[in-house]
Structure 1
């Protein structure tokens, strides 16, 4: 009997020690999580999903419908702007859209877009390049700072229409 009672006492002590260790490590929360982790999980489960940036231009469909300018993607540092003639604006001239203006922000920018029949660009205080296509041919033009640059049709020996596809800027 004495051996049995000793075994029971040792077993009870071991179980108590194990339970105390479990409470100390996990804070007494099931699943081995701490109370802080559970609070985080509960908030995360109830909160909005992940925001994944696809770099799509905001309100692009509305701009296309109203202004016939297809803005695709960018880094947010080249923005469509109302043409005011301000020196910090880049002005793009097209037979289809007349004048379209952009404002640069930050040290560099990127914008993917489609503006047909572009023939001239007035640069701003950024170094800029515009990528254009005619048929299957692609050409890149360097835009002069704060000056007019012939691009597309006016820079092409054959006078072909070019579509503006990309603007890149840097300070």
Structure 2
């Protein structure tokens, strides 16, 4: 009977991994040389580097500012600040299901609500009533340094601000929040 020596596979594995790694590195270097050799944005004749970023499109970053807020302020004298895009100013004749806001010295304002929930911050002075839609709606208003919240009835008018204030003080509508 012959004695068989048990040998470890470890030296063979290390040698194989080393050979495989060398092949990958060599292949990568060869590919770079064939493709052109110079990194993107580098002029191989002068050695100058030009920024690649100038050639790539810019990323859109959401800042939650209301789109066309400057135009709305100029045309309708309404300050719309920030929101998640689910509550937007709309033409009151554009269809049913809008939130309607009544304020002194302003024409009626309407807001379209989409999605499962939404929020919008603004400054609309002297608001006295809001007509709800199918959404559960809550509004925040200020009068002086005091902040008040009102729940808006679904599909009905709700007295808010001076319409609900014993002293008849003019309130500023500062936020609308909705959810389904």
TM-score (norm 2): 0.73
The size of the alignment, in residue pairs, is 148
Does the CA-based 8 Å contact 1:87-1:146 persist in structure 2?
A: no
| Coordinate RMSD, CA, aligned | 2.7
Question: Between Structure 1 and Structure 2, which shows a larger proportion of helix residues?
Answer: 1
Report what 1:14 is aligned to: none
1:157 Cα deviation from its structure 2 partner: 1.1
Cα pair distance change 1:65/1:25, threshold 3 Å:
same
Cα pair distance change 1:26/1:151, threshold 3 Å:
farther
Runs of 4+ in 1 over 4 A off after TM superposition: 17-21, 42-45
Q: Deviations over 1:91-122 (max 9, x none)?
A: 00000313100010111111011100000000
1:22 Cα deviation from its structure 2 partner: 2.2
- Residues 64-143 of structure 1: pairs in structure 2 closer than 5 A: 64-84=73-93, 86-143=95-152
Report what 1:22 is aligned to: 25
Aligned partner (choices 154, 174, 177) of residue 165 of structure 1 = 174
Taking the aligned partners of 2:29 and 2:74, their CA distance within structure 1 comes to 58
Aligned partner (choices 54, 62, 72) of residue 53 of structure 1 = 62
1:38 Cα deviation from its structure 2 partner: 5.8
Taking the aligned partners of 1:133 and 1:162, their CA distance within structure 2 comes to 5
Does the CA-based 8 Å contact 1:96-1:116 persist in structure 2?
A: no
Taking the aligned partners of 1:159 and 1:52, their CA distance within structure 2 comes to 42
Q: Which stretch shows the higher mean deviation, 60-69 or 45-54?
A: 45-54
1:147 corresponds to 2:156: yes
* Gap runs ≥5 in structure 2: 1-19, 42-50
TM-score (norm 1): 0.77
Taking the aligned partners of 1:140 and 1:103, their CA distance within structure 2 comes to 21
Report what 1:8 is aligned to: none
1:51 Cα deviation from its structure 2 partner: 1.6
Does the CA-based 8 Å contact 1:90-1:122 persist in structure 2?
A: yes
